[in-house]
């Protein structure tokens, strides 16, 4: 125990402490718990993948937690969300039951996509999370479409459309930005730039490596954000939201972040150095929030430890729920899918 405490103190000392905290104790405590849940969930998912309880594709969010936590805290519960296949954490941050996400990873009938979507296709209408999309960049025009619906229906809500750095090289990204700006859609395009698209670094994909500048081609307000800082993420999203709700249209935010694990479970991540990884771990967003909480005496080491234990228990309960749940019945194979009845190869 003493050893663990010493280690925690050393880590906290390294993390950046906010001299004057910009947000309330409640906000920091919420960020701490929310980001811990994302990380513990993903750590467990990684372990279970190794045990072949989870199969198929699986992309972990470890290291990127501030992107989801800071954006969620800046918005309202009626706003909409869409992202790519690295999608376990956003719904958790929005309040989806971890059991429903874990069961989906197990391909069980109680999963949030009835066990038929898997890791890349998490959906939860209850919290306005519109997936979970496996085709790189496909969610970008869809995000613009969701924002179009919000504007058309005069709801006052907006859509956060997240993507990876790899998606910005797709034509659909540029077409969506152009339409969104032309129609002043209430959408916040978020590039979660973790430096790599699978094993390809941003520098190898284009001459343009400051990704936020791509928005400038459409006169879209665009800015880079230090996304290892949950405070910076929150503030940038709050600014973009204000603009969107005032009818001023979209914003492009480049969240500069990092994934600690490989692209997917089958990636040993040999294309980057140990030093690069360690450098980012030294700026860990959870440790930074933890250090700010301790510095301001908002909670003790022991109380934060207790929150972590409760989070671990929630994840353990989620795993138990997934284990105990049945697989979908084979009769479910043709439900919840689009069918063209005159398609020549359709089976009776
Ligand atoms: C249209 C398309 N091309 C290629 C792929 C294969 N693919 C899957 S993930 C990926 C990399 C995307 O990286 P990035 O957008 O940076 O997201 P990250 O994995 O870093 O979150 C590629 C090329 C795909 N899924 N869809
Ligand atoms: Mg990437």
* Over residues 133-138, mean pLDDT: 98
**CA 36–ligand 1 middle distance (angstroms):** 26
Where along the chain do its domains lie? 23-315
pLDDT on residue 246: 98
Cα separation, 37 vs 161, in Å, equals: 22
Cβ(197) – ligand 1 distance below 6 Å: yes
> Closest ligand 1 atom, CA of 64?
21
pLDDT in tens, 252-309: 999 999 999 999 998 999 999 999 999 999 999 999 999 999 999 999 999 999 999 9
Cβ(58) – ligand 1 distance below 6 Å: no
Cβ(64) – ligand 1 distance below 6 Å: no
Domain at 23-315, CATH homologous superfamily: Thiamin diphosphate (ThDP)-binding fold, Pyr/PP domains (3.40.50.970)
Residue position matching structure tokens 């496996």: 134
Tokens for 335, please give them. 């439900």
For residue 161, the cross-strand partners are 82, 189
Cα separation, 107 vs 180, in Å, equals: 36
Say how far residue 144 (Cα) sits from the centre of its chain. 18
Q: Which residue has a Cα nearest atom 18 of ligand 1?
A: 164
Mean pLDDT check: name the lowest of 14-23, 105-114, 293-302: 14-23
* Over residues 132-151, mean pLDDT: 98
**127: nearest Cα among 259, 34, 28, 7:** 34
**CA 296–ligand 2 middle distance (angstroms):** 35
**CA 145–ligand 1 middle distance (angstroms):** 21
Cα separation, 142 vs 269, in Å, equals: 31
pLDDT on residue 2: 42
Decide: 172 and 141 in contact? Cβ < 8 Å.
Answer: yes
pLDDT on residue 344: 64
Residue position matching structure tokens 């207790």: 306
Pocket probe mutation, ligand 1, options 89, 197, 258, 261, max atoms within 8 Å of Cβ:
197
Tokens for 152, please give them. 């058309």
Supply the pTM of this predicted model: 0.93
> Closest ligand 1 atom, CA of 163?
15
Pocket probe mutation, ligand 1, options 198, 204, 269, max atoms within 8 Å of Cβ:
198
Tokens for 117, please give them. 């979507």
Q: Which residue would you say has higher pLDDT here, 15 or 123? A: 123
pLDDT on residue 341: 73
Residue 39 pLDDT greater than 60, yes or no: yes
**131: nearest Cα among 96, 85, 97, 66:** 85
Mean pLDDT check: name the lowest of 3-12, 25-34, 255-264: 3-12
Residue 210 pLDDT greater than 70, yes or no: yes
Q: Which residue would you say has higher pLDDT here, 73 or 346? A: 73
Cβ(167) – ligand 1 distance below 6 Å: yes
Q: List C-alpha distances in Å: 260 to 39, 152, 282, 287, 311.
A: 11, 40, 11, 14, 20
> Closest ligand 1 atom, CA of 263?
19
β 251-256/200-201 pair status: unpaired
pLDDT in tens, 146-187: 999 999 999 999 999 999 999 999 999 999 999 999 999 999
pLDDT on residue 19: 64
Q: 249: pLDDT confidence band, cut at 50, 70 and 90?
A: very high
pLDDT on residue 345: 59
**CA 263–ligand 2 middle distance (angstroms):** 8
Cα separation, 31 vs 68, in Å, equals: 10
Cα separation, 27 vs 268, in Å, equals: 36
For the chain, give the mean pLDDT: 94
Cα separation, 276 vs 230, in Å, equals: 21
Neighbouring residues of 271: CB distance < 8 A, sequence distance ≥ 6 = 196, 199, 200, 201
């Amino acid at each position: 125990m003493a050893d663990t405490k010493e280690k925690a103190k050393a880590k906290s000392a390294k993390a950046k402490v906010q001299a004057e905290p910009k947000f309330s104790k409640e906000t920091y405590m919420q960020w701490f718990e929310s980001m811990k849940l994302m990380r513990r969930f993903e750590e467990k998912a990684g372990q279970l993948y190794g045990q072949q309880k989870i199969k198929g594709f699986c992309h972990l969010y470890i290291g990127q937690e501030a992107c989801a936590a800071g954006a969620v805290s800046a918005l309202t519960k009626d706003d909409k969300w869409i992202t790519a296949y690295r999608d376990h954490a956003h719904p958790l941050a929005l309040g989806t039951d971890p059991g429903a996400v874990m069961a989906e990873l197990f391909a069980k009938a109680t999963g949030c996509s009835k066990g038929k979507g898997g890791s890349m296709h998490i959906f939860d209408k209850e919290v306005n999370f519109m997936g979970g999309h496996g085709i790189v960049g496909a969610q970008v025009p869809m995000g613009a479409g969701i924002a179009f619906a919000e504007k058309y229906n005069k709801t006052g809500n907006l859509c956060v459309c997240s993507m990876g750095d790899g998606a910005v090289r797709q034509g659909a990204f540029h077409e969506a930005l152009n339409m969104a700006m032309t129609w002043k859609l209430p959408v916040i395009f978020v590039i979660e730039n973790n430096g790599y698209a699978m094993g390809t670094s941003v520098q190898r994909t284009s001459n343009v490596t400051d990704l936020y500048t791509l928005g400038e081609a459409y006169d879209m307000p665009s800015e880079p954000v230090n996304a290892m800082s949950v405070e910076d993420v929150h503030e940038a999203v709050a600014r973009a939201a204000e603009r969107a709700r005032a009818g001023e249209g979209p914003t492009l935010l480049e969240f500069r972040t990092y994934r600690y694990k490989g692209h997917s479970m089958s990636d040993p991540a040999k294309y980057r150095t140990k030093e690069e990884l360690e450098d980012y771990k030294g700026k860990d967003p959870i440790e930074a929030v933890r250090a700010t909480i301790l510095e301001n005496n908002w909670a003790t080491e022991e109380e934060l430890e207790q929150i972590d234990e409760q989070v671990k228990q929630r994840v353990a309960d989620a795993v138990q729920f997934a284990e105990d749940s049945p697989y979908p019945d084979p009769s479910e194979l043709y439900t919840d899918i689009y069918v063209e009845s005159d398609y020549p190869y359709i089976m009776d």
